[in-house]
Amino acid sequence: MQRTFGVSDMSAQRAIDRLVDAGVLHQTSKGRRNRVWQAGEMLDALDRFAERTRRARR
């Protein structure tokens, strides 16, 4: 995390925890290592955009 984003692992985890508490992210993996989170509303918006783009090409 530190190399990629310029923050410590602890700072990154605190930010993720705040986003989880706010309902923005949810964990999609199991366990405590190599965790994965998703922003469901963002993914839904991207899916809708992709669908509109496909319709516009036809």
Let me know how long the chain is: 58
Regions in the chain scoring below 50 on pLDDT: none
pTM: predicted TM-score of the whole model, two decimal places: 0.73
Taking CA atoms, 6 is separated from 3, 10, 11, 17, 37, in Å, by 6, 12, 10, 18, 20
Do 14 and 21 contact (CB within 8 A), yes or no?
Answer: no
What is the residue extent of each domain of the chain? 2-57
Quote the pLDDT of residue 58: 67
Quote the pLDDT of residue 17: 95
**Largest alpha-carbon pair distance within the chain?**
48
Quote the pLDDT of residue 42: 95
Compute and round to an integer the Cα radius of gyration of the chain.
Answer: 16
Quote the pLDDT of residue 57: 73
DSSP secondary structure code for residue 29 in this structure: S
